[in-house]
Structure 1
Amino acid sequence: MKKLPDFIIIGAMKCATSSLHEQLALQSGIFMSELKEPNFFSDDDQYQQGIDWYLSHFKEAKPDDLCGESSTHYTKLPTYPQTIQRLQKYLPDAKFIYVMRHPIDRLVSQYTHEWSQRVISVEINEAIEKHPELIDYSLYTKQLKPYFDTFGQDKILPIFFERMLTYPQEELERICQFIGYPNQPQWDVELNASNVSSERMIKSGWRDAIVETPGLKQLRQWLIPKTFRNWVRSLWTMKQKPELTPENIDKLQAIFEQDLALLGTWLGTELSCTNFKETVKMTPVNWVK
C-alpha cells in the first residue's frame, strides 16, 4: 500500500523551511521526501505527472514512519490558485506547518533569491512594483485563510523563523508533538541552515559545472591563484544587501501592519512590524480557539 504524507511544511518561502525539512529527516521514524519541494499540488506541470509520481517520493518509507514533504509553493497565492482544492482531494487529513518571518525581512530574502535565479533583474525598489508576489507571499493571513476554511485551524501549526533560530530544540519538539511523533527529537546543531547565505551568486549552469566537477575543481585550485578566483566569483555575486528606500519601507509597513494586526487576533497577541521579532521570540504561540 502506497503511503501518503502525514504532514507538509507549506511555507513560507525564505523562512528556513529547508533547514526544518533536513532536521525532521534526521529523526528516526520520520521520512521526509528526498525531493524537498515536489510542488505537486501547486504547479500544473508537476500535477500532470499524476498521484503515483507524487507517492513515489515516499516509497522508501517504512510502514510506521511519519511521512512529510516541504513545498513553499503551497502558500503562494495568487500564483498557484488550485493548491488547496488539490490538497483537499488527496490529503484531507494532513497536517500543515507554516513558518513565518518578519514580513519585510522575508521579502528582502526572497528578492535576493529571485535575483540569483534570474527571475528578477531590477533593483529591489523597482522590483516591489513590478513583482507583486514579493508582497503577497508575506501576507500571512491571505495565505493561511484558505487552509483554515478548508482544513480547520487545528490542522495548521504556526511557527516563527525568529523563534526557531533562538530556540530550535523547543520548536522542533513542538512540531513533533503536533505531527504525532512519539519519540524525543533532537535538533542537530552541526547541520548548517541550508537556505541561509551571506552572499548570493547569480545562477549559471556552465559556471557551476566547471566549479563543481571534481577533477576540474582540483585543477583550478592548483593552477589559478585564490585572489583571481575570488575576483571572478565577485563578478557573479550581489555586491551589497538590497536596500529599500525609507518611502518604500513606510509603504510596506502600512501594508503589512494590517495583515499582522489580523494575524495577531488569530494568535491572541498584538503584532506589528515594530514588535514582531521580539514578540514571536518570547513564547510559543498558537491559534486562539
Structure 2
Amino acid sequence: MALCASGDERTSAAVVDFIVIGAMRAGTTMLNDLLAQHPEIAMARMKETDFFIDTKNYRLGTDWYGSQFAPGARLRGEVSPNYSKARDFPDVPRRIHGHCPAVRLVYMLRDPVERALSHYAHGWSMGRITLLPDQLIGGPQYEGMVDASRYARQLAQYHRHFPAEQILILDFESFRADPQPHYDALLRHIGAAPMPVPSARRQNESSELARVPKPLLKLAQGPLRPVLTRVFNPAVRGQLRRLMARGPARTPPEFTQKLRDHLCDDLTEDAATLRAMTGQAFPDWSV
C-alpha cells in the first residue's frame, strides 16, 4: 500500500493508492460500486470526500481523510469528480501531488456535450439550477458545465504534476458496451488482482434524489452529510434516501437545440486537443 508523502501543507499523512478524479456524470458512481466489490480494495466511506479541495474538506486534515477508509485493505481509493473542475476548484492536482506523488489516477470520460447536458439535468433535479436551458447560456453555471467537459484542459492541469503513465483515461461509452477489458485495464493500473466484472449494485441515485423534498435534500447534502456518512454505512444511507424520496420528481426542462449548438461550439476544440493528447479516438462522441 502506498503511503502518501507529507506535503508542504500538512505534517501528518493519509493513505490512498488511487483516486478517480472524474468526470462528473460520467459513470463515477458505477466505478465506485465496482471497485468497492473487489476483495483487496477499501473505497472511501464518503463517495466524493472532496478532501483535496481547500474550500471543502481539506481543513479537516489527513487524520479525517484516513478515517474514511476501512483498515486492513491492501488498496485504498476514492472517487471525487470535483477534482476535475479546475475553474471552480483550482490547484487540486498540486495539492494531491504534495501528499501523494505516486498515486494512480483514473479519469472516466463521456461525450462532453452529453455530459454537460446530464450535468444540467442533475443540477435541476437537485435544485441547484433553476434557469431554463436558453437562460443558462453564457452565465456562470453554464461556464462551470462547459469547464467540466473540457477534458483536455483538466488533464493538462494534472500533467503539470503527474507523468502520463500515472493517469488512466477511460471512455464511459466503451466501458459500458464491453466492460471486462476496461475493468481489467483499471485493475492493472491501480495494482489490484484481476477479477470478473461484478454486477453494479446501484446506478446513480439521481432519480431518488429528484424526489426528496428540497429542504430535506439541502440538509442531507449540506451540513448533515458528514454526520450521516460517519454514523451510517452506504446501505443504510441508501435506505434513508429511499424513505425520503416521497415527493414528485423534479423533471428538468427539455434541452433546446440552441443549448446543444452552443455546447458543441464551445467543446469541439477541446475534444480535438484531447484526442491529440491521449491518442484515443473517442469515435462515438458528438464533437
Counterpart of 1:71 in structure 2 is: 80
CA-CA distance at 1:201 after TM superposition: 3.6
Counterpart of 2:271 in structure 1 is: 260
- Decide whether the 8 Å contact of 2:33 with 2:202 is kept in 1: no
Amino acid at match of 2:125: S
- Decide whether the 8 Å contact of 1:115 with 1:202 is kept in 2: no
Gap runs ≥5 in structure 2: 4-12, 220-237
Counterpart of 1:191 in structure 2 is: 201
Q: Which shifted more, 165-174 or 26-35?
A: 165-174
**Local SS of the residue matching 1:135:** helix
- Decide whether the 8 Å contact of 1:117 with 1:203 is kept in 2: no
Q: How does 1:57-136 map to 2 (within 5 A)?
A: 57-58=68-69, 60-62=70-72, 65-130=74-139, 131=141, 132-136=143-147
- Decide whether the 8 Å contact of 1:19 with 1:195 is kept in 2: no
Q: How does 1:103-182 map to 2 (within 5 A)?
A: 103-130=112-139, 131=141, 132-181=143-192
Rounded to whole Å, the distance in 2 between the matches of 1:37 and 1:206 is 20
Q: TM-score, normalised by structure 2?
A: 0.79
User: Could you say which structure has the larger radius of gyration?
Assistant: 1
CA-CA distance at 1:178 after TM superposition: 0.7
CA-CA distance at 1:270 after TM superposition: 4.5
Give me the identity figure in percent.
Answer: 26
Rounded to whole Å, the distance in 2 between the matches of 1:196 and 1:207 is 12
CA change 1:12–1:195 in 2 (3 A) is farther
Counterpart of 1:204 in structure 2 is: 214
**Local SS of the residue matching 2:42:** strand
CA-CA distance at 1:57 after TM superposition: 1.1
Amino acid at match of 2:117: V
Rounded to whole Å, the distance in 1 between the matches of 2:279 and 2:97 is 28
CA-CA distance at 1:269 after TM superposition: 4.5
CA-CA distance at 1:97 after TM superposition: 0.3
Rounded to whole Å, the distance in 2 between the matches of 1:149 and 1:119 is 32
**Local SS of the residue matching 1:4:** coil
CA change 1:195–1:14 in 2 (3 A) is farther
CA-CA distance at 1:65 after TM superposition: 1.0
CA-CA distance at 1:12 after TM superposition: 0.3
Counterpart among 254, 262, 265 of residue 242 in structure 1? 254
Q: How does 1:278-289 map to 2 (within 5 A)?
A: none
- Decide whether the 8 Å contact of 2:212 with 2:247 is kept in 1: no
**Local SS of the residue matching 1:165:** helix
**Local SS of the residue matching 2:56:** helix
Rounded to whole Å, the distance in 2 between the matches of 1:207 and 1:35 is 17
Q: What CA deviation, in whole Å up to 9, does each residue of 1:206-240 have, x standing for no partner? A: 4899xx999xx6xxxxxxxxxxx9xx844x421x6
Counterpart of 1:15 in structure 2 is: 26
The 4+ residue runs of structure 1 with deviation greater than 6 A are: none
Q: How does 1:23-42 map to 2 (within 5 A)?
A: 23-42=34-53
CA-CA distance at 1:191 after TM superposition: 1.9
Gap runs ≥5 in structure 1: 218-228, 280-289
**Local SS of the residue matching 1:158:** strand
Amino acid at match of 1:110: H
CA change 1:117–1:176 in 2 (3 A) is same
Rounded to whole Å, the distance in 2 between the matches of 1:112 and 1:124 is 10
Rounded to whole Å, the distance in 1 between the matches of 2:127 and 2:63 is 32
- Decide whether the 8 Å contact of 2:22 with 2:106 is kept in 1: yes
Rounded to whole Å, the distance in 1 between the matches of 2:268 and 2:218 is 41
- Decide whether the 8 Å contact of 1:99 with 1:158 is kept in 2: yes
**Local SS of the residue matching 1:134:** helix
Q: What CA deviation, in whole Å up to 9, does each residue of 1:145-201 have, x standing for no partner? A: 0111111111100001101111122211110011111x2222223523235649944
CA change 1:129–1:207 in 2 (3 A) is closer
